[in-house]
Structure 1
Amino acid sequence: MNNIIKLRSGLAGLQWLFFLFTNTVVIPITVGAAFALPQDNIQFLIQCSFVLTGLACVVQAALGHQRSVMEGQSGLWWGVILSLSAAAPSLGISLTELGGSLAVGIVISGVITILIGVCGLAAPLSKLFTPGVMAVFMFLLGCRLNMIFLEGMLGISSGSSTEATTIQPTVFLLSAAVAVFVAVLSVKARPAIGQYALLIGILGGWVLYTLIFGRDSGTSSAGTIDMGWFPLGNPWNGLNIGVVMIAIIAGLVNASNTFGALKGTDRIYEQEASAKQYKRSFTISGVLAVLSGLLGLVPYAPYVSSVGFLQQTRIRERLPFVIGGLLFAGIGLIPAVSSVLTQLPLSIGSAVLLVTYLRLLGSSLKYFGQIRMDAANVYRTAAPLFVGVIVMGLPSEYFASLPPLLRPLLGNGLLVGILLALVLDRLRSSSSQQDQTQASNKVQGPVAPTSDHSRRTLNSNLNPKGEQS
């Protein structure tokens, strides 16, 4: 029996390893390509991402929120950084100045995140992320990331000018077949097999891709790596205050990932995350953000996609998660091994991740189910949803007429949608509180003086907590 448990934990840990890998490997590659870094520096970013992500998951599971929730490089941050790098020429900012300014902004946002955790501000901050805001966030995050994964399935690599920028039908047919296989296997197969559908899909798809298209040349080498601080750009050589401010705003909005991931797993763990869990999670994420700024990495946050992964695999124990994290960190320390894994075809990894992130729609609909859809709430939810999706599909050239410092912010559909949802929700809360106050005043009318006898009678009908008995 013990051997069976160990085998299951090992297989589940291996599946977590590939989940961490497929969610991570594309990010440093695209960021390195966007900043025109040499190959050795990109390899350095990849290895740092592997090590830090693996250790981050272990630390969060042991000391942070203590759940099997991936702590990885934030998709929201990833989108902001790629948008800024693409818009840098039109902003008149060099890539090195952009990288240095981003580093400063990321470090400052990390310090703010640490203060939110240490000072216990997560609880009042969580009140901003109501079901309406979380529904919009889940939906837009799924749209944004699945756009990236669909591009990968189509054989399009928008992160580098040296890769294909047109649809490759044969690559798409194979990746679509892998996605359908993983989805059917996870739904139709017995739980003992279905919970490993992602692992089976990745390994099987990798083999088929190699047999049909041959082996990828990979994106890295196992040679000597030039390590150092601020690989994207040294802040001492030039600083753009506008970019720093945008980074700080992105860091604050990035808090939605923590609330999305922990609230999304409340049902899986059959209990709400406590204030201490939020406090520890924010503190650890803040420390990781500071390190990310120094190392040129995309800042970290709990992954909302872990909700879909846990629902699909039905494995919520922490031991396999810790095993996967340790394996991932170990791989990052061995250049030869990490170099082999980076040869995983982007289309296959994207196909598997697409299946996982499609489940974000279910999480979004659950939050929508908590909203009373009257006319006002329909507008409050529809406006950020449609505006966010539309902005995502607009070319960056459309925003050329806006002030340079606002282009990266207003050109990011995910950020625009979340900020609009927060603003509209706050307006709703303010108006509803005002209506309740006016209604209460009308019902109560003027308050008459209360005699001592009346006060004693009233107090006798109240329990010590001041609640009516």
Structure 2
Amino acid sequence: MNRHLEQFSQKNMKDVSSLILAGIQWFFFLFTNTVVVPLSIGHNFHLSPDAIAASMQHAFILTGAVCILQALFGHRYAIMDGPSGLWWGLTLSLTVSASSAGMSLERIGGGLAAGFLLAGLTMMILGWLGAAQVLQKLFTPMVKSAMLFLMTIQLTMNFFKGMIGYTEFGRFDLPVAALSVVIAFLVAWIQLKGRGKLGNYAILIGIVAGWIAYSLLFPGQHSGQPNQTTTGLTLFPWGAPRWEPGIVITAFFVGLVNMTNSITTLSTVEKLYRTETTSRQYRHSYALTGLFTMLSACVGVLPFGLFASSIGFLESTRILRRAALIIGAGMLCVIGLTPSVTAFFAQIPPSVGSAVLFVAYLQMFGTALRTLEGTTFNSKTIYRVALPVLTGVAVMNIPAEAFQTLPMYLIPIISNGLVIGVLVSLVLEKTVNWSKMEQPVTVSKAA
């Protein structure tokens, strides 16, 4: 009897330790996806170091809170909900293009704040009314795959720039790039060759080992983030909400696209859980994301959205337990409430985080491919994927300066490769009868 109790106790202790390690890994995933956003946005809006640090803390608290609520009462999956990459790209694009066109940063920030509030309210209302069902019909597996391909390309491009030191120093930094490549190979090797559960903690090992190696090889090179120990709540640090038609309308449209990203993410992750997402889960998920989007607009944080990259993280780590996400999100809330701890963790070199996330996000490419399982292509039907994906990639590689001659309200849409690619895919799926073209193309023999 005592032996069985001892075995049971040991098993429970092992499960708890594994859960805590998984939670720590979730924490680093949440952290590295959140910390760089307020930094880049704050610098673009020329905010003070204290204001940037305050935005960072608010981002940590809101991200941790919404992830916990989503796991318990929302979609009920282990998926990150945080400052959306789609909104990130829009905001950076607007601050550059609108400033070049002569619009003040206060006007841009005020217009974005109004657009964020409108987008959050719209998401809550449409989501609760069942708009998810309509969006599901629009977003066929072909559209979802195009969106996943483009999101993978866009994110990995950003992380690759971070790996080589471009985002830190504005140029290619060979020593930093070499270390980043080693870190990326280490994480990939652990994932591929790691025995037992070792592969589940590849991201955690990569961040810790990379941080230590960076500190030893480049002492003092990374200055870290603001080291303040106090923070206050400043409403609308980018500017008070104001009606700027072009910016508000663009933000509203991007908000609708962000809703479709939730459809893509939830419909993809449910395959990992071998279940089907109910309409109630969609309504609750949209309500929480919309509410936190409105809250984020008030404190200088980007609007929220589900992270499709969570799918790659889940596939890399094979940790599907919601409890692990809740632990990691709780830790993120704690450091957000502790300025001195925030200052410490914010010293993780961006190149290290980028190298680790670069490998983690590669799994999204496989997810996009699996979305196309069962579909065959010929010389005609290949346009269903090739045209939207390659068009989006082409737009991504056009310099921002090339769009400055366009009307202000068109720039955020036309300059966003992800948005353009998704729009092209939607148009193709609704205007072309692909079933007639799915027969193999035959070539007649010459007489």
Shared fold per TM-score greater than 0.5: yes
The aligned residue for residue 223 of structure 2 is 217
- The one-letter code of the counterpart of 1:300 is F
SS at match of 2:305: strand
Q: Note the residue ranges of structure 1 that are not aligned, 5 or more in a row.
A: 158-162, 434-469
**288, 293, 299: which is aligned to 2:297?**
293
After TM superposition, the structure 1 = structure 2 runs for residues 252-267 of structure 1, keeping only pairs within 5 Å, are 252-267=256-271
Q: What is the CA–CA distance in structure 1 between the aligned matches of 2:294 and 2:93, rounded to whole Å?
A: 21
In the aligned structure 1, how far is the partner of 2:95 from the partner of 2:404?
15
Deviation at 1:380, TM superposition (A): 2.7
Query: Per the alignment, in what secondary structure is the counterpart of residue 37 of structure 1?
Result: coil
Check 1:77–1:327 CA distance in 2 against 1; reply closer, same or farther (3 A cut). Answer: same
Q: Give aligned-pair identity as a percent.
A: 40
Spell out the pairing of 1:423-438 with structure 2 (5 A cutoff): 423-428=427-432
Q: Please give the alpha-carbon distance, in whole angstroms, between the structure 1 residues aligned to 2:349 and 2:355.
A: 10
Q: Which residue of 2 aligns with 1:441?
A: none
| Aligned twin of 2:444 | none
1:40 aligns with 2:18: no
Partner of 2:359: 355
CA contact (8 A) 2:101 2:404 kept: no
Number of the residue aligned with 2:182: 177
Q: Distance in 2 between matches of 1:99 and 1:68?
A: 32
SS at match of 2:237: coil
Distance, in Å, in 2 between the alignment partners of 1:299 and 1:250 is 11
Query: For 1:310-353, what per-residue CA distance to the aligned partner results, in whole angstroms no more than 9, with x for missing partners?
Result: 11111101111111111111110000000000000000000010
The two structures, once aligned, show a CA RMSD in angstroms of 1.5
TM-score norm. by structure 1 comes to: 0.88
Q: How far apart, CA to CA, are the structure 2 residues paired with 1:294 and 1:421?
A: 34
Deviates most, 411-420 or 131-140: 411-420
SS in 2 for 1:301: strand
Aligned-partner SS, 2:90: helix
Task: Report SS of the residue matched to 2:432.
Answer: helix
**Contact map agreement 2:231 2:339 (CA 8 A) in 1:** no
Q: Deviations over 1:437-456 (max 9, x none)?
A: xxxxxxxxxxxxxxxxxxxx
The counterpart of 2:424, out of the listed 420, 427, 434, is 420
Aligned length: 425
Structure 2 gaps, min length 5: 1-10, 437-447
* Equivalent pair of 2:233/2:299 in contact (CA under 8 Å): no
Q: Which amino acid aligns with 1:217?
A: S
Pairing partner for 2:75 from 65, 74, 86? 65
Contact kept in structure 2, 1:116 and 1:283, CA below 8 Å: no
C-alpha deviations, 1:234-253, integer Å up to 9, x for none? 125xx321000000011000
Once the two structures are superposed, the pairs formed by residues 10-159 of structure 1 within 5 Å of their partners are 10-157=20-167
- TM-superposed deviation, 1:432: 7.1
Aligned partner of 2:173 in structure 1 is 168
Query: Cα distance, 1:374 vs. partner?
Result: 4.2
Q: TM-score, length-normalised on structure 2?
A: 0.92
Deviation sequence 1:111-137 (CA, Å, 0-9, x none): 110012211221121111111111110
For residue 366 of structure 2, what is the amino acid of its counterpart?
G
Partner of 2:3: none
Q: Which residue of 1 aligns with 2:247?
A: 243
Tell me by how many angstroms 1:224 deviates. 3.2
Corresponding residue SS for 1:195? helix
CA distance in 1, matches of 2:38, 2:139: 29
Distance 2:53 2:261 in 1: 27
